[in-house]
């Protein structure tokens, strides 16, 4: 490997994806206020917001890691053009699941590579997620079962866990849903000579 890799994320799920792929990398979460970065963006699409945030995270970590390739990633959830963020509490998580019930939302997953402050690659993948019609009582029982895990994702569900029971159809790949488009990322890292291949 010619360059050190650094994941600019605190997400245990993104970290696990890279570890499971056999990559050697360091982890340094970005120190940015995502809502402050997002506020002046105006009417950007949910995909563009995810891309801007992924790049902001990578740029922040790059400033402290000269010579390293920084992997920045972000995911937005959009429903009818509106962007949703992680629920702040269980009541908000309940309202989120009620809003998503019986509808199709999009998970927009962006990944960016930055080296020495220069953005060298960007990629966006979108997954379309159709929830089944959910009974409010079931939502309450589901949230009681999963507890605080519901607050760790933008959709208030853990797709890789019990959250899979909420869905009737998925159009998109697993890695995009988890929040890191892994296959395009690995291909680019190979092309850069940053990983073996």
Q: What is the pTM of this model?
A: 0.91
Catalytic (active-site) positions: 74
| 3-state DSSP percent of the chain in helix, strand and coil, to 5 | 40, 25, 35
More confident residue, 154 or 168: 168
CA 149 to chain centre: 15
Q: Which residues of 46-64 are buried (b: 16+ CB within 10 A; e: fewer)?
A: bbebbbbbbbbbbbbbbee
Measured distance CA(77)–CA(86) in Å, rounded: 9
Report, as an integer, the average pLDDT of 3-31: 95
Residues 37-55: tens digit of each pLDDT: 888 877 889 999 999 999 9
């Amino acid at each position: 490997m010619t360059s050190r890799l650094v994941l600019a994320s605190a997400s245990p799920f993104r970290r696990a994806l890279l570890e499971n792929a056999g990559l050697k990398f360091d982890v340094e979460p970005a120190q940015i206020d995502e809502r402050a970065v997002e506020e002046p963006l105006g009417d950007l699409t949910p995909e563009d917001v995810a891309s801007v945030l992924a790049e902001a995270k990578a740029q922040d970590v790059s400033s402290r890691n000269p010579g390293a390739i920084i992997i920045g990633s972000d995911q937005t959830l959009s429903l009818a053009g509106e962007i949703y963020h992680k629920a702040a509490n269980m009541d908000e998580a309940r309202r989120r699941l009620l809003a998503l019930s019986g509808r199709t939302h999009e998970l927009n997953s962006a990944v960016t590579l930055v080296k020495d402050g220069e953005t060298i690659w960007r990629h966006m993948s979108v997954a379309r997620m159709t929830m089944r019609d959910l009974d409010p009582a079931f939502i309450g029982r589901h949230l009681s079962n999963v507890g605080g895990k519901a607050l760790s994702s933008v959709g208030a569900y853990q797709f890789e866990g019990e959250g899979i029971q909420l869905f009737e159809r998925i159009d998109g790949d697993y890695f995009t849903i988890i929040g890191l488009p892994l296959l395009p990322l690995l291909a680019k890292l190979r092309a850069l000579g940053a990983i073996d291949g």
